[in-house]
C-alpha cells in the first residue's frame, strides 16, 4: 500500500519485480485490496498505453494503511523492549 501511495501508476509487473514476488501474487493482492475498498483502479485517460492503470488508495485504504503502520510500530517497539530486557538479564547472569 505504501508503494502504491508513492507511485500510483506503477505496473503490476514492476511492483512484482520490486517486491520479489510473482505477478500473479501482486494481481491477487490488488484484487483483494480493491474488494476491501482500500484501493481503486482507474484507466489512464490520455495514456498511449491503453493497458495503463493507476492504483489509488481510497480514504478507507489510507486509514487502514495508517492503522497497519501503527500496529507494526507498536509490535516492533514491544519486541525491542523485550530484547533489551533479555539482554540486561543475560548481562547480569554473565556478571555473576
Alpha helices in 20-58 (DSSP H): 23-36
Range 55-90 burial, b when 16+ CB lie within 10 A, else e = bebeeebeebbeeeeeeeeeeeeeeeeeeeeeeeee
> Residue 8's pLDDT is what?
78
CA triple 70-67-25, angle to 5 deg = 105
Question: What fold does the segment set 2-71 form as a domain?
Answer: Arc Repressor Mutant, subunit A (1.10.10)
What is the average pLDDT across 77-85?
93
> Residue 87's pLDDT is what?
94
User: Rounded to an integer, what distance in angstroms lies between the CA atom of residue 92 and that of residue 44?
Assistant: 62
Q: Where are the chain's structural domains? A: 2-71
Q: Which tens digit of pLDDT belongs to each residue from 21-76?
A: 999 999 998 889 889 888 888 765 555 554 567 777 788 888 888 888 788 788 88
At residue 5 the predicted structure's pLDDT band, cuts being 50, 70 and 90, is confident
| pTM greater than 0.85 (yes/no) | no
Amino acid at each position: 500500500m505504501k508503494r502504491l501511495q508513492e507511485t500510483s501508476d506503477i505496473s503490476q509487473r514492476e511492483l512484482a519485480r520490486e517486491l520479489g514476488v510473482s505477478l500473479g501474487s501482486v494481481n491477487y493482492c490488488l484484487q483483494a485490496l480493491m474488494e476491501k475498498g482500500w484501493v481503486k483502479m482507474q484507466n489512464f485517460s490520455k495514456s498511449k498505453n491503453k493497458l495503463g492503470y493507476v492504483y489509488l488508495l481510497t480514504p478507507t485504504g489510507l486509514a487502514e494503511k495508517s492503522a497497519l503502520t501503527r500496529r507494526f510500530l507498536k509490535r516492533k517497539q514491544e519486541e525491542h523492549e523485550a530484547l533489551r530486557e533479555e539482554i540486561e538479564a543475560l548481562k547480569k547472569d554473565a556478571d555473576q
